[in-house]
Chains A and B, each alone.
Chain A
Amino acid sequence: MLRVEEVQSVEFSSALILKFDEIVSRYPEGKSKSALLPILHEVQAVYGWLSSAAMDKVAEYLQIQSIEVYEVATFYTMFFLKPQGKFVLEVCRTGPCCLVGAEKIMDYIGDKLGVKEGEVTADGLFSYRGVECLAACGYAPVLQIGPEYTFYENLTPESVDQLIENLKNK
């Protein structure tokens, strides 16, 4: 079952529409659906997640059916279909990272933030989740934070403390 949280309406800014236009220009005529993933990234970078209203608006812009947007957004793990914390700490939990302590780092983050995986802290600032291989096994454990997907490598409890403090002051 598709679980998409509803919001009333969304209006894209003219700057965002200009960005969409530039993205569409990368593909041959009649192939603008190729712009779907890049456009969804742009929308998520602005709003923090993809609401049904935002996805409908994307469908309208690309002149495709809304279901074509939903089926893509639900397939790819980078797209959030409900609101998240302002900062989503995505910790790689796959093999090589786990060999050097990724699970302990996840536990530490959960304890420190006082929330379970996928939950948002009361102040709305943080959520965290485990993600599959981030292709940075040599610098493990690692985490990333969108929308720029900034990387933090060789994590320790101390570096996590510092990171969270820095983000609180951002």
Chain B
Amino acid sequence: MGRKLLLEHINVPGINTFQVYKEKGGYRAVEKALKTMSSDDMVEEVKKSGLRGRGGAGFPTGMKWSFLAKPEGVPRYLVCNADESEPGTFKDRYLMTHIPHALIEGMIVGSYALGANTSYIYVRGEMMPQIRILEKAIAEAKAAGFLGKNILGSGYDLEIYVQPGGGAYICGEETALLESLEGKRGNPRIKPPFPAIAGLYGCPTVVNNVESIAATVPIVNEGGEEYAKIGIGRSTGTKLISASGNINKPGVYEIELGLSVEDFIYSDEYCGGIANGKRLKAVVAGGSSVPILPANLILNLANGDKRLMSYESLSEGGFATGTMLGSGGFVVLDEDQCIVRNTWNFSRFYHHESCGQCSPCREGTGWMEKVLHRLEYGHGKMSDIDLLVDVSKKIEGNTICPLGDAAAWPVASAIRHFRDEFEWHVKEPKLALEKNYGLAHYADPIKVAEEVSVN
């Protein structure tokens, strides 16, 4: 049984309320921070903890905090990125729904560490129920004196506001999020300057994921060094993993980093094995943007050791044989799933969600989707497969923000590991249609193709 830092009290009735959360030890971190620690102490503790950004990028949180510019007379901001919309990832929704005060407490200690007096939680607009939950939690914390003027008599003032997004995946990118928070289209900004220098309203700003902010609470409570003892190597602490797809027990799990992938998939404590007695075919381990891996590579490293749920182990071998921990969105595909269809589905997502600012992404994501579409619907050519690889290479690294890479990697990795399946779709389009759509369409493959326009 792994140690739980964020979800320890998840099953306690009423843990979503201030009263029960506090009875279970909540808001100790605020009292400790404001009464005994300086801002510099706080940053130092988070550095010692080794905490890495839980939104997907994995950048050291303490280092990010230490970059914050502190010019005189200029406000600073902490902005929480709760725009969770990476396919496969649903941990932040879970945390905000069930333990909203874990985020509010983290926002208070984080804001104090950064010297921010106004902070925003940018929540994707579709999460309106979670927005209401957070607003209630903020009101409760304020009524108890943990927000507002002169918190706990410390002289520190803080207001937290919740901002709804409008349904755009790109707003999960930190500079696009800031643009959106300023009331504009969510077009990513060119970096530098980084938000730490010029962020919200041109002021120094830190943008952190929900889980990263919540994780600062146990770090303050127990100390950075204690936190760093959990996990493995440079993958310290615990991580929320959102597990979905063809497994017996989909859901959000808190794991100690370093657990084996095999144990995570097959043990009853976590995913409980593959649903319906099927065999494992592939896994997208860190949200849809990371490379997909076939069963043998997700379970084992090249040297035969077990692959572990950690930043380093999942990425071992680079993109040739590895992937990324990313956001912890763990999507499991069983033996019946069609890789071409799954890749097309993800590709459609990235085409839909490209903000259109950079040509390689705007044009390339649409191009990839269309080619995958015709492969899926029985009109593909063998040359399409290399065309997809070529287009993905031309998008990767050539855009302002990482959405281009996110769109390219699933396609490139699917072809790298499952090329024979793409070729089968070209050679046997009728059989592929029958597999994915049933016998009715086997008789008339053109009918399927006409259901969605193919360009």
Contact = CB atoms under 8 A, between A and B. Distances in A.
B288 A95 contact: yes
B129 A149 contact: yes
A160 to B, nearest CB: 19
Contacts of B164: 37-38, 41
Given A34-B183, A35-B183, A138 B345 contact: no
Given A96-B331, A99-B246, A137-B244, A33 B86 contact: no
Interface stretch (B19-27, B218-226, B346-354): B346-354
A67 to B, nearest CB: 12
A100 interface: yes
Interface stretch (B87-95, B227-235, B303-311, B392-400): B87-95
A10 B250 CA distance: 46
Nearest to A71: B185
Nearest to B126: A149
A16 interface: no
Interface size band for A: 35 or more
Given A41-B164, A75-B168, A77-B166, A135 B84 contact: yes
A37 B124 CA distance: 11
B181 interface: yes
A72 B182 contact: no
Interface in B285-330: 288, 329
Nearest to A140: B244
A17 interface: no
B126 A134 contact: yes
A140 to B, nearest CB: 7
A33 B182 contact: yes
B7 to A, nearest CB: 14
A137 B329 contact: yes
Contact of A138 (B118, B242, B337): B242
A138 B90 contact: yes
B90 A136 contact: yes
Nearest to A42: B164
A19 interface: no
A150 B126 CA distance: 9
Given A31-B182, A37-B125, A133-B349, A76 B337 contact: no
Among the interface residues A34, A132, A133, A150, which one has the most CB atoms of the partner chain B within 10 A? Answer: A133
B29 to A, nearest CB: 25
B244 A138 contact: yes
Contacts of B169: 132-133
Contacts of B86: 133, 135
A151 interface: yes
Among the interface residues A33, A93, A95, A139, which one has the most CB atoms of the partner chain B within 10 A? Answer: A95
Contacts of A131: 167
A149 to B, nearest CB: 4
Interface string B119-139: 000001111110000000000
A36 B349 contact: no
Contacts of B184: 33, 72
A24 to B, nearest CB: 11
A36 B183 contact: yes
B75 A37 contact: no
A79 B127 contact: no
Contacts of A82: none
B129 A148 contact: yes
B17 interface: no
Given A75-B168, A76-B166, A98-B345, A33 B89 contact: no
A149 B185 CA distance: 22
A140 B246 CA distance: 11
A156 interface: no
A130 B180 CA distance: 24
B333 interface: yes
B163 A37 contact: yes
Given A34-B183, A95-B331, A135 B90 contact: yes
Nearest to B246: A99
Interface string B338-381: 00011001101100110100000000000000000000000000
A26 to B, nearest CB: 4
A93 B250 CA distance: 18
A84 interface: no
A46 B183 CA distance: 20
Nearest to B160: A26
B85 interface: yes
Contacts of B6: none
14 contacts: A36-B183, A37-B164, A37-B180, A38-B163, A41-B125, A76-B168, A95-B349, A98-B342, A132-B87, A133-B85, A137-B87, A137-B245, A140-B244, A149-B127
For the complex of A and B, 5 pairs with smallest distance between CB atoms: A76-B166, A137-B244, A78-B167, A36-B183, A33-B183
